Copies of this chain bind each other. A is one copy, B any other.
Amino acid sequence: MAAAARNGRKISLPTVERLSIYRHALEELHHEGIESVHSHQLAALVGVTPAQLRRDLATFGTFGNIARGYDVRQMSDTISRIFGTDELQNLAIVGVGYLGQALLAYQGFEGRGFRIVAAFDVDPDKTGRVFAGRRCYPLDELEEVISEQAIRMLVLTSHPEGLQDIIDRAAAAGVRGFLNFVPKMTTVPSGCFIEPIDISAKLEKLSFLSGREASSPTRSANKP
């Protein structure tokens, strides 16, 4: 059965991160009309070893038919269920600058189980307006809108000032996850999670890797 052992089992974060990659590859296979796939095929596609793929999946239960391999559709659905994205989750964006507007315009979230339902900003020129179909609220109404629209996660693209306060208020209002593009040190209350995305840091990593003269890469972002 595909039922995942989601009770208090110890699940490593690297595994969860790879799950996203697997699911993405499975979606592509599904689009190509492929219905089942073997561990070594999928592993080659995403650049991991077959053993690791099998180990990752085994964390959540047993999926595969021995002779047919893994059912593409079923495995994709199961991963969605593990993520909790089998039903659309409501997000809001804090900070309607260039990046915020880019995210509001991005069409790819719904296919991954997320829906941006609101935006917030301090700028009175922006509040009240509608961006890509979503209303921009003043920050005063943060708690109210979070509660009304059942917002589970916040995407932070605002200015650094007052960021910590926004996080604390949102957490108190029931938000548990924060995706943070703002290069600023923050903390979240226990039970909440924050995932920083530091674009400059990624560039620094690339610069570091590129800089060492064509020596053996310790580990690359893809297969060597």
User: A residues near B, CB below 8 A?
Assistant: 6, 8, 10-13, 16-17, 19-21, 23-25, 28, 45-46, 82-85, 89, 91, 97-99, 101-103, 105-106, 108-109, 112-114, 152-153, 176-179, 183, 185-188, 190-212, 214-215, 217-224
Hey, which chain B residues are within 8 Å of A199, CB to CB? 103, 179, 197
CB distance from A130 to the nearest CB of B (A): 16
Q: In the complex, which of the residues A10, A103, A187, A207 has the most CB atoms of chain B within 10 Å of its own CB atom? A: A207
**Distance in angstroms between the alpha carbons of A177 and B199 in the assembled complex:** 13
With A and B bound together, what is the CA distance between A81 and B115 in angstroms? 42
| Complex alpha-carbon distance, A130 and B201, angstroms | 27
* CB atoms of B193 and A179 under 8 A apart: no
Contact indicator B98/A106 (Cβ below 8 Å): yes
A1 to chain B minimum Cβ distance, whole angstroms, is 20
Interface of A is mostly: mixed
The contact sample of 13 A-B pairs, CB cut-off 8 A, is A10-B218, A13-B219, A19-B204, A28-B185, A109-B203, A113-B207, A114-B207, A152-B207, A153-B207, A176-B210, A179-B206, A193-B209, A193-B217
Q: A85 — which chain B residues lie within 8 A by C-beta? A: 204, 207
Contacts of A106 in B (CB 8 A): 98-99
Contact: B12 with A185, CB < 8 Å? no
Give Cα A83–Cα B221 distance, bound, in whole angstroms.
17
User: Is A218 a contact of B11 with CB atoms below 8 Å?
Assistant: yes
On whether the beta carbons of A203 and B179 are closer than 8 Å, the reply is yes
Known A13-B205, A112-B204, A200-B109; contact A185-B99, beta-carbon cutoff 8 A: no
Contacting A204 at CB < 8 Å: which of B20, B188, B201?
B20
Choose one: B10, B176, B178, B209; the contact of A177 (CB below 8 Å). B209
Complex CA distance for A196 and B116, rounded to whole angstroms: 22
* A88 CB, min distance to chain B CBs, angstroms: 11
Q: A101-B102, A102-B99 are in contact. Are A195 and B200 (CB under 8 A)?
A: no
CA distance A50 to B179 in the complex (A): 26
Complex Cα–Cα for A14 and B158 (A)? 27
On whether the beta carbons of B206 and A20 are closer than 8 Å, the reply is no
